Structure 1
Amino acid sequence: MMRNFLALVFTAGLVVLLFLVVTANHALNTISKPDVIISVLNDAEAYDYLYDEIIGNLVYDVVEKGVEINSGIGDSSSPTILEFDDPGTAAAAITLFVETLVPRAYLREKIEEALQGVVPYAAGQTDEFKIDLEVQDRLRDLPDSVR
């Protein structure tokens, strides 16, 4: 009687374990495809969220607090705090400047290129990957007044 009970419990445990392993294997096979990750990022509008919410709020928080500058000029070694009269307008201008420097389409393109190399590396399908941000090209696109 006790053997039958233990066999039943053991069998039930193995069935649950089999279900978990099959589910995990399917999830890992799906996630290990770069196109799936890219599609999820696009469907979730991750790039818009990054620019509209994360960068915008981060810049606004920094502008609202003020920016501490250690100029090292003069007798005092204390830092100077750069404060903005209208933090909302300053944050909007800085956010627009960031988006001009690194446009959404450019960021999307570079992340997709990076995922095409990193995901196979993480899955063990290759032993090297390359991420080229083409920083020199972005710097050349800047107006002379900014450089």
Structure 2
Amino acid sequence: MKLRRMVLGLLALVGVGVLIACTTSTKTADYQRLVEGQMDIRNHFEYRGDKITLMETTTTIIYSAYGLTGPEDAEKQMLAQGSASWDGVEGITHEVDYQEDRLIETTSIDMSKVDLATLNELLPIETDDGKIPEYVSYKLTKDNFLNQGYTEVKDGKFKELE
């Protein structure tokens, strides 16, 4: 009996070890697109395997670089471009801070809570067949960002907008 208990206990321990080893851990990545004197876009991703679980974007725009006169003018422009459409969507947190010389827009998307069809209306997700995907691919997103001139940021060492 003792031998049987030991074998079963050992098998259970090995099983737990295999489950822990096979579980895909959450990884993170950061990207930045900086245009000196104009804007700074920072993107943070959390993902498991190829599936993005969280996307956070912080965009800073200097008013004068875009011909805006101040916070009120910037707010009108943002509303005209549909920034309010992000507000109140389940799984999305969206805020715009209108400062004296710049605006800072912060958007966080929890992919476990957001409806991908709704997200696709706000942020079109490109697919080969034109259908809404089951998830947002980290690999494809990374490739797209690098092609758009973003650089990968290591150890949180973002460049600052001057």
Please report the TM-score for the alignment, with normalisation by the length of structure 1: 0.33
Higher strand proportion: 2
Question: Which structure is higher in RCO with an 8 Å CA cutoff and minimum separation 6?
Answer: 2
- Answer 1 or 2: which has greater helix percent: 1
Choose 1 or 2 for highest CA Rg: 1
Q: Structure 2-normalised TM-score?
A: 0.31
